[in-house]
Amino acid sequence: MLSEVHLGALCQTKPIARWRFLISWSLFLRFMNQLSRDTPLQRIPEVQVRIDSSNYANIITKDRVIPCSTHGLAVLHIFAQPISMKQALEKLQGQIHGAQDWMNLTSTILQLYREEILQEEGQLEPTLRTDTHGFDAIGIHIAMLNDRQRTASYLAAIREVLCVLGM
Residue-wise pLDDT tens digits, 2-35: 444 444 454 455 555 554 555 555 555 555 556 7
Task: Please state, in angstroms and rounded to a whole number, the distance separating the CA atoms of residues 139 and 146.
Answer: 11
Quote the DSSP letter at residue 60. E
pLDDT mean over 85-101? 87
**In this structure, how many other beta carbons lie within 10 angstroms of the beta carbon of residue 120?**
14
The pLDDT, as a whole number, for residue 124 is 60
In the chain, CATH 3.90.930.60 sits at 4-123
Residue 166 — very low, low, confident or very high, per pLDDT cuts 50/70/90?
confident
Candidates 32, 119, 97; CA nearest to 105 is: 97
- What are the pLDDT digits (tens) for 58-77? 998 888 899 988 888 999 99
Give yes or no for a contact between 46 and 129, defined as CB atoms under 8 angstroms apart. yes
pLDDT tens figures, 104-146: 888 888 889 888 899 887 766 655 555 556 666 666 777 777 7
Q: What is the DSSP letter of 162?
A: H
Asked if the model's pLDDT at residue 78 lies above 90, the reply is yes
Q: Which residue did the predictor score with more confidence, 3 or 155?
A: 155
Question: What pLDDT score does 42 carry?
Answer: 92
Cα–Cα distance for residue pair 45/109, rounded to 1 Å = 16
Please tell me the predicted confidence (pLDDT) of residue 53. 87
28: left (phi > 0), else alpha (psi -120 to 50), else beta? alpha
Domain range 4-123, its CATH number among 3.20.20.100, 3.90.930.60, 3.40.50.1100, 3.40.50.920: 3.90.930.60
Q: What is the pLDDT of residue 98?
A: 84
Within 8 A by CB and 6+ apart from 86, the residues are 1, 37, 38
Average pLDDT over residues 86-111: 86
Q: In angstroms, what CA-CA distances link 118 with 18, 47, 91?
A: 28, 11, 17
pLDDT(48) > 50: yes
Q: What is the mean pLDDT of residues 31-52?
A: 80
Exposure of 59 by Cβ count < 10 A (0-12 exposed, 13-18 middle, 19+ buried)?
A: buried
